[in-house]
Amino acid sequence: MWNNSSVVVYSNSKLNYNVKLLAFRASFVKFVKIYSVMEAAISEKIDKWLSGNFDAETKATIQELQQNNPNELADAFYKDLEFGTGGLRGIMGVGTNRINKYTIGMATQGFANYLIKSFPEQQIRIAVAHDSRNNSRTFAEITANVMAANGIQVFLFEALRPTPELSFTIRHLQCQGGVVCTASHNPREYNGYKAYFNDGGQLVPPHDKNVIIEVQKISSVDEVKWNGGEANIHLVGAELDQAYISMVKGLSVYPEVISQQKDLKIVYTPIHGTGITLVPQVLKQFGFENLTLVEEQIIPDGNFPTVVYPNPEESEAMSLGLKKAQEIDADILLGTDPDADRVGVGVKDHHGNWILLNGNQTAVLAFNYMIEARRKKGIAQENDMVVKTIVTTDMIDVIAAKNDVACYNVLTGFKWIAELIKEKEASENYIIGGEESYGLMIGKELRDKDAVSAVALLCEMAAYEKNAGKSLFTKMVELYVEYGLYREHLISITKKGRDGQAQIAAMMERFRTNPPKSLDGVEVASIYDYETKEAKDLRTGQVCTIDLPKSNVLQFVLADGSKISARPSGTEPKIKFYFSVQGKLATVDEFDAAYASLGQRIETITKDLNL
């Protein structure tokens, strides 16, 4: 028999159940209404494409998807592909949420309108390039045709070219803007559209938001000027190649060392991309005579037949190169992504095993070389400066500080490095910038990451160290002894589909509202929230303002200086977690044990964050 307290418990449980049931019903009704509104909007967009001025093939594809794959069709139309602060990037296919000739054309019309407003009473000039991806040439020609139809003089590359050459060309030809059709390192189903302004850098405030506004105003394909200005299109090629190669050659610090190490064994793979058009020529101009190409990957091919992801960050993409390097006992392996703005590096470690450096290690070696070698050569200047991003290893800050070189930190993306150069160029001398995602920008003659010049300088670095009886790996470990041991790691979590963005947003909200108090037993000393632009010292409660533009990034800095950053990707349906832990390294002989210990710390922190 129940006592009175049991009855009360039962009654309360029943009441709670009823309340939860009512709440569930209300939520379900709300979901049904939202879903119904969304489905109606999707249907309306599909109907517009079926009845509007779209080609027969596009309409037939939509009808086929209606019959056989309605879910894919819904995903293709449930939203408009956003023209972000860098342009467009997405899966190719029909629909408003896909990369196709219509979304490319509408974006170009909006960009053209903004250029015309920004440079009144001027003859506007724009450079257009593309990579090796499927449809990239078609998209570049559409871009050129729409720009030309708007009265803009267009300098269209005659064939595929690396993205950095596009940035260089904008400055070299004094253009007001530029476009390159590429999805960089994304999988083969993607393509994209990067927009540049007159400094050769990608769009930054206020131009990025203002271009977005102009693009959003284009509500119909009927508003696009598709043709009529063909006489305004000028094909360019070899003459720009020579100007660019000459610029890159001028970046060399120790050409005399190269002449002594001209037989340096170099293995290079363009991973089916644009690097093949310039990298071999640049290396030859530098004076290197012993270049081996990875034959299976030298032909440009948007299907990227030998890899899953055409990204030199992925060991799988570099595996054929590693095999070739081992075969011929090379000194260095290099690989570039499809648009040749990222570079991966392979070297032999102190055990004779071939390994891939991560982006932070490559950046450390490159920054240190440009600081150290310039000083030894006697060409360093008192106002030299370097620039890195907030998620790139702090080891660079330490190296710069100990060498009395100014080091600036900016948000992720080379457009912010380009913007800082423009801000500082009257008073400071920029020498190198980079980020952990395998990007380097050496010298100030272009304003985007450049794997072509990076390949050349990395080979010069390898020659410089070999001339001193060392390898790049040996140099890296020596730097760890001198400046402190740092180990970095990246975890990318992909959330695809209509609810992917919501899941990523929920993860960021969880870390904002319930941040960790300690990780791996080490106190979280401060939190940097770049969205609110606030940095809070958790020990004193002091709050400082972050003097950078707003960005959806969170950083947890531990008491020992280690740092964990969370950042949703701006180009892919991913959220990225960057780990940087540090310690001391007394001698080269202790490297293996000390580096392994830092790896264990990263594993523990990952578990603490429940990733």
| Backbone torsions φ then ψ of 433, nearest 5 degrees | -140, 160
| Buried b or exposed e, range 109-123, using 16+ CB within 10 angstroms | bbbbbbbbebeeeee
Q: With CA atoms as reference, report the closest residue to 65 among 51, 75, 79, 78.
A: 75
Give the pLDDT score at 38.
58
Give the pLDDT score at 495.
84
Give the pLDDT score at 16.
53
* Residue 113 pLDDT grade (very low, low, confident, very high; cuts 50, 70, 90): very high
Reply yes or no on whether the pLDDT at 610 is more than 60.
yes
Rounded-to-integer distance, Cα 369 and Cα 465, Å = 10
The residue length of the chain stands at: 611
**Among the options 136, 184, 562, 565, which is catalytic?**
184
Reply yes or no on whether the pLDDT at 12 is more than 70.
no
Query: Which residues, in sequence order, are CB contacts of 300 under 8 Å at separation 6+?
Result: 132, 160, 270, 272, 273, 274, 276
Give the pLDDT score at 4.
42
CA end-to-end distance (rounded Å), the chain: 48
Query: Which residues, in sequence order, are CB contacts of 173 under 8 Å at separation 6+?
Result: 125, 127, 155, 240
Q: Is the pTM of this model over 0.85?
A: yes
**Secondary structure (3-state) at 60:** helix
Rounded-to-integer distance, Cα 88 and Cα 192, Å = 5
Average pLDDT rounded to a whole number, residues 103-107: 97
CA 339 to the chain's CA centroid: 12
Q: Give the other-Cβ count within 10 Å of 265's Cβ.
A: 17
Alpha carbons within 13 angstroms on the beta-carbon side of residue 339 total: 31
* Residue 3 pLDDT grade (very low, low, confident, very high; cuts 50, 70, 90): very low
Q: Please tell me the least confidently modeled range out of 32-36, 227-231, 427-431.
A: 32-36
Q: Give the other-Cβ count within 10 Å of 599's Cβ.
A: 14
In CATH terms, the superfamily for domain 82-236 is: Alpha-D-Glucose-1,6-Bisphosphate, subunit A, domain 3 (3.40.120.10)
Query: 338: which 2 tokens?
Result: 């499809």
Judged by phi (left if over 0) then psi (alpha if -120 to 50, else beta), residue 469 lies in left
* Residue 292 pLDDT grade (very low, low, confident, very high; cuts 50, 70, 90): very high
The answer to whether residues 161 and 274 touch, using CB atoms and an 8 Å cutoff, is yes
Question: If residue 157 lies in a helix (H) or strand (E), which one and from where to where?
Answer: strand 153-157
Average pLDDT rounded to a whole number, residues 427-456: 97
Would you state the torsion angle of the CA atoms of residues 106, 111, 113, 117, taken in this order, to the nearest 10 degrees? 170
Give the pLDDT score at 54.
96
Reply yes or no on whether the pLDDT at 9 is more than 70.
no
Annotation says 184 is catalytic: yes
The answer to whether residues 467 and 476 touch, using CB atoms and an 8 Å cutoff, is no
Give the pLDDT score at 498.
66
In CATH terms, the superfamily for domain 245-468 is: Alpha-D-Glucose-1,6-Bisphosphate, subunit A, domain 3 (3.40.120.10)
Rounded-to-integer distance, Cα 491 and Cα 470, Å = 32
Rounded-to-integer distance, Cα 451 and Cα 275, Å = 8
Q: Please tell me the least confidently modeled range out of 6-20, 377-391, 430-444.
A: 6-20
The residue that leads in pLDDT, 317 or 19, is 317
The answer to whether residues 188 and 309 touch, using CB atoms and an 8 Å cutoff, is no
Residues 184-205 pLDDT 10s: 999 999 999 999 999 999 999 9
The answer to whether residues 372 and 253 touch, using CB atoms and an 8 Å cutoff, is no
Reply yes or no on whether the pLDDT at 24 is more than 50.
no
Annotate 515-543 with three-state secondary structure.
CCCEECCEEEEEEEECCCCEEEECCCCCE
Rounded-to-integer distance, Cα 394 and Cα 416, Å = 18
> Under CATH, which architecture does the 485-608 domain have?
2-Layer Sandwich (3.30)
Q: What angle separates helix 163-172 from helix 238-249, to the nearest 10 degrees? A: 90
Average pLDDT rounded to a whole number, residues 403-424: 96
Residues 345-366 pLDDT 10s: 999 999 999 999 999 999 999 9
* Residue 37 pLDDT grade (very low, low, confident, very high; cuts 50, 70, 90): low
Q: What angle separates helix 101-118 from helix 207-217, to the nearest 10 degrees? A: 120
Judged by phi (left if over 0) then psi (alpha if -120 to 50, else beta), residue 456 lies in alpha
Reply yes or no on whether the pLDDT at 15 is more than 90.
no
Reply yes or no on whether the pLDDT at 569 is more than 90.
no
| Backbone torsions φ then ψ of 382, nearest 5 degrees | -60, -25
Query: Exposure of 473 by Cβ count < 10 A (0-12 exposed, 13-18 middle, 19+ buried)?
Result: buried
The percentage of the chain sitting over the pLDDT mark of 90, rounded to a whole number, equals 88
Q: With CA atoms as reference, report the closest residue to 489 among 436, 434, 527.
A: 436
Residues 43-98 pLDDT 10s: 999 999 999 999 999 999 999 999 999 999 999 999 898 887 778 999 999 999 99
**Secondary structure (3-state) at 37:** helix
Residues 507-541 pLDDT 10s: 999 999 999 999 999 999 999 999 999 999 999 99
Give the pLDDT score at 29.
43
**Secondary structure (3-state) at 187:** coil
Q: What is the mean pLDDT of the chain?
A: 92
The residue that leads in pLDDT, 465 or 571, is 465
Topology match between the domains 245-468 and 485-608: no
Rounded-to-integer distance, Cα 382 and Cα 406, Å = 9
Angstrom distances, CA of residue 419 to CA of 199, 318, 415, 429: 9, 32, 6, 14
Judged by phi (left if over 0) then psi (alpha if -120 to 50, else beta), residue 137 lies in alpha
**Which sequence spans correspond to the domains of the chain?**
1-81, 82-236, 245-468, 485-608
Question: If residue 510 lies in a helix (H) or strand (E), which one and from where to where?
Answer: helix 500-513
Judged by phi (left if over 0) then psi (alpha if -120 to 50, else beta), residue 94 lies in beta
Query: Exposure of 274 by Cβ count < 10 A (0-12 exposed, 13-18 middle, 19+ buried)?
Result: buried
- Is cis: bond before 515, omega within 30 of 0? no
Average pLDDT rounded to a whole number, residues 551-568: 95
Query: 496: which 2 tokens?
Result: 């695809």
The residue that leads in pLDDT, 22 or 242, is 242
Give the pLDDT score at 479.
98
